[in-house]
Structure 1
Amino acid sequence: MSFLDTLTAWGALAALLQFGIVLSVIIRVVLTRHPPGSSFAWILLTTLLPYVGFLLYLAFGERPVGRLRAKRLRDAAERRGHLAQHKLTPLGPLPSRLVRHRTLLRLAAKLSGMPTATGSTVVLKASSKETIASLHADIAAARHSIDMEFYIWEDGGEVAEISSALIAAARRGVRVRILVDDFGSRIFLRSEARRRLEAEGVAVASALPMKLLQIFGLQRADIRLHRKTVVIDGRVAYTGSFNMIDPKNYAEAKVVGAWVDAMVRVEGPAARLLDAVWRFDWALQPDGDLSDLDRTFETLRTPNTGDAVISTVPSGPYQPGDSNLLLILEAISRAEYTLTITTPYFIPTESVVQALLNAALRGVNVRLIVPERCDNSATGWAMRRYFDDLLQAGVHVLLYQGGLLHTKSIAVDNEFAVFGTLNIDNRSMHLNFELMMVIFDDDFVADLVRLHEEYESRCRELSPEAWRRRPISDRLKEGASYLVSPLL
């Protein structure tokens, strides 16, 4: 066989291999029921770049969490299942003010597998400074346990004060456990700060560790633990958007400004729900103790501390559906007068866009508050691609200019709030471990509305007419980013 014939044979083999790769990815995408936009993006990428697309699909195309973790998820879910049978709420009818929202509460309980909790106290911590001060005080008062989980933990600045308080708590006999995401907290996990905490008896674990063999087929690389939860003595808990990092101490701060965050402090029966979520996540780790879940709910009687009614809805790749997406759609559909949403990243599903358009068209005052500058330029340009239809329907789009607005919140008709860790994007709604709370409490909702008004005072509202006159170069950037947005 001549050299030319050999080249022809290898070329034919390569073409056949490429055809097999493209065909296998197409079949797998179709059978896996990806969203249409994501399906098209994967098929296009693999057709144009077969080998690259194939490897990327193995790493990021689906959402497996690894065989060991999948088994622990099933075991943990089974053990937690009995929690849904408990009644944290008093027996009897709902308060009259909540009767019209009974189906929302029923949906939240169904999605989460956990009951609605009444008799709780919720306080909005409207800034990182307020959050750190409140956490410091509660840690100093802890007597038995401190359990924390964060996507990002970086020591230094104001966070050093929290680390010192945790060490002091451990020295006086308090059990302290910290769970952080392996990617978001990769610097901390390899730092002297971690070693110092562990030397003082603080347990530190990494969630969803990234390893080469797990990435290719056993565990998707970009599924992350995005929850931010603190539970102290099982009676006080926090959640929201704040990561354990000084808000001015991150790489892009000099460009886009400091992170602007908010948290909620919960006391009473609803704190037990956040405790359940934290213990569920801790039990998923290879060295986690599933019996933790059993001990947690041997006794669920918690004294009432206030009038708040709260449903807690965790979500993640372990669920067949996207729980928090369904919750967001229901919250939007319930708005009759006002609807305000704050999110740092707005790359929604078409169902969310249609829900917002419907709300605006039926006369709801819809206000979307997003940062003017994102820490990811592609995400920022993709986000703007959605503004045309929203502005045309009458949605008020406000660009926050006071830093990187990171608060994830929804206020509906000044009656209830949806608050937590969820960004309005594909990653949060479909991939990551997230947590949202539905909160009925007049004082909390009023405080959140005032916080939204404060944000608005530092915003630039887009004019539909001016937006239509933006440069063609901006439109091209938006369109290109939009095409790859299902993969962001």
Structure 2
Amino acid sequence: MLFTLLFIAYILATIGVVLNLLISGARPTKTMAWLLVVIVLPVLGIILYLVFGVNRRKYKFYKIKEAQKVKKYLSRVDGFYEDHFTEQAILPENRDIYRKTPELISKNCRFLPYPDNKAKILRNGPATFDAIFDALEKAETFIHIQYYIFEEGELTDRMMKIFKEKAKAGVEIRLLYDGVGSQFLSNKYTNQLQELGGNHSCFLPIANMRPTSTLNYRNHRKIIIVDGKIGFTGGINVTDKYIRSDAGPLGIWHDMHLQLEGPIVNSLQAVFVTDWNFATEREENGDLLKDKYFPKSEPKGDAVAQIVASGPDSDFSSIRQEYFSLITQADDYVYITNSYVIPGEAILTALQTAALSGVDVRLIIPETSDSVVVKWGVRSYFEEMLRAGVRIYLYKDNFLHSKTLVADDEVISIGTANFDLRSFEQNFEVNALVYNESLAKELKSYFMEDIENCEELKLEEFKERPVGDKIKEGIAKIFSPIL
């Protein structure tokens, strides 16, 4: 009798999963993938679907926008931003095809392109943290820091030293970190910051998580804003893995970051302010929507820049649309460096179409991975891309963590988002687009330098890989919706 009841419950739960997939409007490939997971892993598959598979975007991320307070605040952010900065926005005077991307981004996530910015590419940890510490030491009004991984060590100790000096000088300090990525950040460290008068908050802390609604939705953004004048974003987290070879098993991580000055910093600040308000659930001192935190900026350079923000609370997958737009509009080349390439149907088709159309499409992907399942999930797409003429390079020098794209000597994207479903649908992400020829050529040159540390895959050789590898790839591909 008990077995019969359990079996009936399992059948009903499976039917529920199927109905949810149909109602949510999931793509056929995604529907079939989840059905395979449910069938191959009875009971566990259903649990995995409830945690990882439910379309939170359709339901606005566990009803975030149904909460009146948050909905009202998001509306205020939009209104404040529009009132203060819309008149500065322009469409970049690049080729006509690249006029489409700025308009796309402005519609799908509201952020407009701004001229007169200075943008500097920061390659690897030492250069990035030298620039960050220099900016922090010059702070006069406020420091806003947001990271997925904020891990105690040499870098955080140095930051705390700066925090102490700046707190004495009356500088406001706010630290926002993710509940999973920074789960080992100690109370000792945050209490120390609190004692200085600084504020800190955890984005969806583990203790408050609901496994079927919030566990899988992480804030993967990396943002620093100093005085509203200088900002940083990119792939680099605050962890000693970027400066010490003994900080982890994969050696020193190779990554890219971007330093921004000019009007675009306020767009980055708007992302932080929204996340801070959500995480803290309070409006301290009348809220952060003040001119003090969004100062008017004088021209700093000749770069047009635009922020792309996306998350499970978004109406559209802005990051996916950004990548799709840049790939499909490329005329000469598109070079992508990314640590997790599990593209899904749309981006895979974009890459194949571009390559088959004669565009020089190249990917640099790490040879090693911090996840065995992800490694085989990434490799499961190699043959389809190679057949279309996409050139794939495996980076062999330590672990590659960059998330960059450069196309046609005209536009670059540097940010936090990977080429996978997690970044497209589940994580809160942020990228910076810069429409500038000199920066595009600079990032292109770094790409070519990285190729020197790579092994290029050849289709005929890859097709001869062991059957065991093909089986691992096939299994990983089934589980790609939850990677």
TM-score, scaled to structure 2: 0.92
State the match for 2:13 in structure 1.
21
Moved more, 280-289 or 432-441: 280-289
C-alpha change, 1:243 and 1:24, in structure 2 (3 Å) is same
CA distance, structure 1, for counterparts of residue 113 and residue 138 of structure 2: 28
1:269 to 250, 263, 269: 263
C-alpha change, 1:467 and 1:47, in structure 2 (3 Å) is closer
* 2:464 corresponds to 1:469: yes
2:355 to 352, 360, 367: 360
C-alpha change, 1:159 and 1:450, in structure 2 (3 Å) is farther
- How far apart are residue 351 of structure 1 and its match? 0.9
State the match for 1:287 in structure 2.
281
State the match for 2:158 in structure 1.
161
CA contact (8 A) 1:73 1:318 kept: no
CA distance, structure 1, for counterparts of residue 361 and residue 126 of structure 2: 29
CA distance, structure 2, for counterparts of residue 415 and residue 51 of structure 1: 50
| Aligned length in residues | 477
- The root-mean-square deviation of aligned C-alpha atoms, in Å, is 2.4
State the match for 1:183 in structure 2.
180
CA contact (8 A) 1:374 1:404 kept: yes
C-alpha change, 1:22 and 1:90, in structure 2 (3 Å) is closer
Summarize deviations over 1:376-416 as a string: whole Å, max 9, x none: 01111111111112112221100001111111010001111
- How far apart are residue 105 of structure 1 and its match? 1.2
Gapped runs of 5+ residues in structure 1?
1-8
State the match for 1:60 in structure 2.
52
* 2:197 corresponds to 1:201: yes
State the match for 2:30 in structure 1.
38
- 1:199 aligned partner, one-letter code: E
- Between structure 1 and structure 2, the one with the greater Rg is 1
CA contact (8 A) 1:76 1:284 kept: no
- Counterpart secondary structure, 2:240: coil
Summarize deviations over 1:66-89 as a string: whole Å, max 9, x none: 456752542232112225634747
- How far apart are residue 447 of structure 1 and its match? 2.1
- How far apart are residue 202 of structure 1 and its match? 2.1
- 1:268 aligned partner, one-letter code: G
CA distance, structure 1, for counterparts of residue 89 and residue 250 of structure 2: 50
- How far apart are residue 175 of structure 1 and its match? 0.4
State the match for 1:4 in structure 2.
none
Moved more, 219-228 or 178-187: 219-228
State the match for 1:437 in structure 2.
432
Moved more, 290-299 or 396-405: 290-299
* 2:304 corresponds to 1:309: yes
- How far apart are residue 117 of structure 1 and its match? 1.0
State the match for 2:396 in structure 1.
401
C-alpha change, 1:465 and 1:46, in structure 2 (3 Å) is closer
CA contact (8 A) 1:88 1:115 kept: no
CA distance, structure 1, for counterparts of residue 153 and residue 7 of structure 2: 54
State the match for 2:238 in structure 1.
244
CA contact (8 A) 1:80 1:293 kept: no
CA distance, structure 2, for counterparts of residue 251 and residue 48 of structure 1: 40
* 2:452 corresponds to 1:460: no
- 1:123 aligned partner, one-letter code: K
CA contact (8 A) 1:88 1:118 kept: no
CA distance, structure 1, for counterparts of residue 116 and residue 209 of structure 2: 47
Summarize deviations over 1:403-454 as a string: whole Å, max 9, x none: 1111101000111111111000010011100011210123322221122122
TM-score, scaled to structure 1: 0.91
CA distance, structure 1, for counterparts of residue 65 and residue 244 of structure 2: 31
- How far apart are residue 465 of structure 1 and its match? 1.9
State the match for 1:345 in structure 2.
340
- How far apart are residue 160 of structure 1 and its match? 2.2
* 2:79 corresponds to 1:82: yes
- 2:360 aligned partner, one-letter code: N
CA distance, structure 1, for counterparts of residue 328 and residue 427 of structure 2: 24
CA contact (8 A) 2:338 2:364 kept: yes
- How far apart are residue 320 of structure 1 and its match? 2.4
CA distance, structure 2, for counterparts of residue 326 and residue 302 of structure 1: 29
C-alpha change, 1:348 and 1:99, in structure 2 (3 Å) is closer
C-alpha change, 1:67 and 1:362, in structure 2 (3 Å) is closer
C-alpha change, 1:79 and 1:417, in structure 2 (3 Å) is same
C-alpha change, 1:42 and 1:203, in structure 2 (3 Å) is same
Q: Within 5 A, what are the aligned runs for 1:146-157?
A: 146-157=143-154
CA contact (8 A) 1:257 1:403 kept: yes
1:387 to 382, 385, 393: 382
C-alpha change, 1:131 and 1:312, in structure 2 (3 Å) is same
Percent of aligned positions with the same letter in both sequences?
A: 28
C-alpha change, 1:262 and 1:161, in structure 2 (3 Å) is same
Gapped runs of 5+ residues in structure 2?
none
